[in-house]
Structure formats: structure tokens, C-alpha cells
Chains A and B, each alone.
Chain A
Amino acid sequence: MKDMSYQAVMGRRNEIMKASLGIDFTDFIQSPIAFDYERMMRETGYALEDIVRIQAETKVGNTPLFELTNLTEAVRAFAGPGKGARILVKDEAANAGGSFKARRAAISAFEAKKRGYKGLVAATSGNYGAAVASQAAMRGLKCIIVQEVFDSRGVGQPEILEKSRACEAYGAEVQRLSVGPELFFQLLLTLETTGFFNASLYTPFGIKGVETLGVEVAEQVRARYGKDPDAVVITHAGGGNLTGTARGLIAAGSTGTRVVACSVDLGGLHMASDTDFNRKSFTTGHTGFGVPFATWPDRVDVPRNAARSLRYMDEYQLVTQGEVFYVTELLAKLEGLERGPAGNTSLTAAVTLARTMDRDQIVVVQETEYTGAGKHHNRQLSFARENGIEVRVGDPRENVPGKAIVIPERLDQVQGSVQDMEKLRMSYLRNAAKAHPAALWTGADRAFLAADLKKDIDWVATAAATL
């Protein structure tokens, strides 16, 4: 009988991962920090044309790109002379499962089926669960979704309850868990006892699947406007959405496009706190994931993460919960689209960007997600109120995560805030130095770090000297 204690299961993580992924990461690893990222993406992934075909088989991809003319006009009403870029949105809610996550799940499900696994397991409280369950259903695979759902009072976050429902609707077994990082322990145990495939968000399959999204954005914008998008805004949590989209833009030759990350600011709330759990009105796309994953990607359920956001990120915007709720409501009222919080996070940043960009420029919001009971912003706000959080109309700068959600009075109050990229890069370097002391970094390590930070080797050498 195997030891099923927390320590024992965590101690077996590498062997469990290897059996459940079929990828031997040691092939690519060069040092405690460096690995051959591009070779890993090439050799374990699929060619772009294969991915397009696989996704088309299971109702994924080729989603519509809409110009939000009324919202653009609303921004131009207060933007300075000549300012107010066109805002476009890629309606990823049209994918099977209701979000862009279907692009990632499609490739994992295809790979699992091809290699003879009987089922898939994913640890996720987000849209990815529904995406994996939906793709598994189409491929005739069993599916287990492991979710963090409820606090010690037994109260579930309404958005996650909806995701539990959706996963069951697609025929999955849903393991609903209380608050804590032991979600990973339960994932490992489940992988070990079932022998199922680990549909991790962070494998090359999960990232290659998103590349088609970047390619479609570039091609659709070119076909309609005869130019590349000037900026693409991407809601950022674990980094896969940004990494895959940016790689797709590059693959399509759209190399001059600014890649802008956006997260909801939940600063001050602890992600493993039982009491903070239901004081968050966003379950993903927030700084609780976005910042740690940007500044150290290799904190995930695979030995090396294929999602490496700082490799591609030009800018990182934060927005408040109140600002996103305002823009979500406005999208319905002005554009006739009711959509969920994930895409509307980047839409909020797009409003702030469009305001400063020229009228002939184009900013693309590259995803939407479905909304409905539980996920809907009205439910998130009423739930916040039930949990003692103040909800009022006013200046969004007075927003305090976990205490007050301030909904703007007017669109021109939606301003967001720009993160200091150099601080993020230095934070990444400090984490790298924790994993492998800077004094031991070789030329290969510095070259890897430079690529991972979108900087040159000289920058890494200078920055490392200040650690």
C-alpha cells in the first residue's frame, strides 16, 4: 500500500507527472533555471496547421472578430483630439465550452486520445474545466475536474459553482474542494490512482493550442483593415493566454503589435486564505495569479512551464474590480453583448489604451467568455455585498480589494494603472536566483534569462550585479 500522506504524494510528484504527461522534461532541461524552450515547443507540440485541423474537429476556433463601434465612440467623446483607437473584440465565447480555453483543451484531449489514455484530469476552478470536459466528451474520454470551490463555512464562490455545473453538464466527475493549495496534492493523487492524462494548462499542448488565436487575430484584422493590429490586450493569470496569443501573432508575422497584459488588482488578498476566498469578486485574471506567474513561471504542475509571459509582454495594466464591472455592463448596454469577466478585464484595459492611441489605430481584445447565473457581474456584486464588502458608485481609485468595490460614475473614470515592467523583471531575477544562485549562472543561464525577460544578455548581467 502506497503512502498517501501529503508529504509522500508530493514526494512522488516527478514520477506521477512523467507518467501522466508522457513528456520527459529532462531532455530539455539545461540547469536549475535554463531549458531549451523553443526545442521543447517544437518537439512536443504540433505544427500550426495540425492544430487548426484538430480544433476544427471539435468546434474550436475561427471565432468572429467584432468592431465595438459604440464603445469606441463613447471613448472618443472624452479622448483628446485625434485620439480614440478602434476597439475590436474576438468573441471567443463562441468556442465549444464557452471560452478560449477550448483551444488549449482541444490539443490535450487529442494527445490523450492518440496516446491511449482513458481519460483526462485537470485541476482548475476556471473556464478550463468546462473546456476540458467539453473536449473530452467529444473525444469519448472520461474527465475529472478538481476544483477549489467552497470555504470552511461550505459557501461556494458563485462563479465556481457555475463552473462545477458546466463540467457536470459535459459529463465530468467534479471533485469539489475547500480552500487551499492542496488542490495540487489531490490532482497528483487522482492522476496516480486513475492513470489518466494530465491536461495541465502549462504543457506545450496547452500553449500551442492558443497560438491559433493570435494567428486569427492578425489575419482577421489584416483582411478587414489592411494592416496589423497596433495593440492586443490579453487578460493575464497563469500566462498561457498571453504566451500563446503572442506566439501566434509572431507566427503570423505581426511582430510590431504591442502585447499588453491586463489583470484585476486584488492586491492585499491572500490566495490561500479561507476568509479572503469569498472576498474576491474575480476567480481568475487577477494579480493573485498574474504577478507570481509572470515573475516565476515554473511554480506549476509540470516541471517546466510552457507559458512564459514576460518573454512576450510589452506592458502590464491593472484594473479595479469596479472598473471591470462598469465596462461589463456597458458592453451589454452599448454593444448588445453579455459576456463574462475574463475577457471584460482586457476590454477594460482596452478602453484606457484606446483613449491614448490615435483614431486610426486598432486595439484588439482577444477573448470573451460566456456569462450566466453565478458568473454574472450582478451576482458577483450581490455576493460581495453579502460578504460584507461595500459596493458603491464613485471614484474607482477608492477601490480596496476585499473591502470596497467602487463602480465608476462615468467611462472617463476608467483609467487602470500601468505596472512597472522593470520591477517585474527584477522580481523574476530574484526568484531565479532563489532557484539557482546568481553566482553560479553560466552564459547559457544568462542567455535563457535574457530571452525569458525580452531583454539582452548585458541587461541581465547588469541587473544580476544588483541582486
Chain B
Amino acid sequence: MNVIPKGTWVEIERVLLQPEDRAPHLPEETRICPYVLRISGFLQEDAELGAQVTVRSLIGHTHQGVLKVVNPSYSHSFGATVPELLHIGVRP
């Protein structure tokens, strides 16, 4: 297994509430899911993916959770072109 070195920027995940502990009156499709937190931070000890770890966030607070992603990144985009928009405002 690959050991991720201490200090690496990672994302962890933690279940905050199991389905049975969630708020009352949720729609069924929400009620059956655990309530989950994801947070990024600097890994506080060498660890492998899937391990229970501690991270230190950008503001220096520590959080525990399961190590999920190494070097989490944003890849949201402008999406595939939607041709239905292209007729709008085009002047002859």
C-alpha cells in the first residue's frame, strides 16, 4: 500500500449522523442516507487511503475522518456546450 506522507493536502470524510440519528420528517430518500462531512486539510501523520486520520484545516483546526482523497482538487467546468443557448441574441 502507498503511504501518504504527513503534511500532504488531503480530503477526509466522516459520518456525522447515522440514518437513525437524523432529523425527523425527512423525505424517505434522504432519511435512509447517513449525513456526511467532507473536509480538506494537511495530514497529521503518515497514513494509507482508508485509514482513520487527523487533518489540520486552512485555519488550523483539527478534524478526524477517513482518508479519501490525496491532493483534492476542483474540476468543475463550463460543461459541454449546450447548443440550445447559441441562437440567443445573435444579430443577423
Residues of A at the B interface (CB closer than 8 Å) are: 5-6, 119, 142-144, 149-150, 152, 156, 158, 161-162, 164-165, 168, 171-182, 185-186, 194, 270, 272-275, 325-326, 329-330, 332-334, 373-374, 376-383, 385, 391-393, 407, 409
The CA-CA distance from A161 to B90 in the complex, in Å, is 31
A383 to B23, CA, bound (A): 29
In the assembled complex, which residues on chain A have CB atoms less than 8 Å from the CB atom of B22? 6, 180, 182
Contact with A along B15-55 (1 / 0, CB 8 A): 01100011100110110011111111100000000000000
**B41 contacts which chain A residues (CB < 8 A)?**
173
Contact status of A272 and B26, CB under 8 A, knowing A329-B88, A334-B89: yes
**B33 close to A173 (CB less than 8 A):** no
Q: Give chain B's interface secondary structure class.
A: loop
Nearest CB of A to B45, in Å: 20
Q: In the bound complex, do residue B82 and residue A326 qualify as a contact, i.e. CB atoms below 8 Å apart?
A: no
Q: Is A152 within 8 A of B33, CB to CB?
A: yes
Q: Are A176 and B39 in contact (CB under 8 A)?
A: yes
B88 engages A181 (CB within 8 Å): no
User: With contacts A6-B22, A171-B58, A329-B88 known, is A182 near B35, CB below 8 A?
Assistant: yes
Say yes or no: A177 contacts B37, CB within 8 Å. yes
What are the residues of chain A within 8 A of B8 when measuring CB–CB? none
Q: Give Cα distance in the complex from A173 to B84, angstroms.
A: 38
Q: How far is the CB of B87 from chain A (nearest CB, A)?
A: 7
Quick one: which of B26, B35, B80 has the most chain A CB within 10 A?
Answer: B35
- Among all A-B residue pairs, the 6 with the closest Cβ atoms: A333-B89, A382-B79, A374-B76, A379-B79, A173-B57, A329-B88
8 Å CB contact of A182 from B23, B58, B59, B82: B23
Does B84 contact A274, Cβ atoms closer than 8 Å? no
Counting chain B residues whose Cβ lies within 8 A of the other chain, the interface size class is 35 or more
Contact of A179 with B23 at beta-carbon distance under 8 Å, contacts A334-B89, A381-B79 already known: no
Chain B residues with CB under 8 Å of A391's CB are 82, 84
Contact B76 A182 (CB under 8 A): no
Some 25 contacts from A to B, beta carbons below 8 A apart, are A6-B21, A142-B60, A150-B38, A171-B59, A172-B59, A173-B58, A174-B39, A177-B36, A177-B38, A180-B22, A180-B30, A181-B23, A273-B29, A274-B30, A274-B33, A333-B88, A373-B76, A376-B79, A378-B81, A379-B76, A379-B78, A380-B79, A383-B79, A407-B84, A407-B85
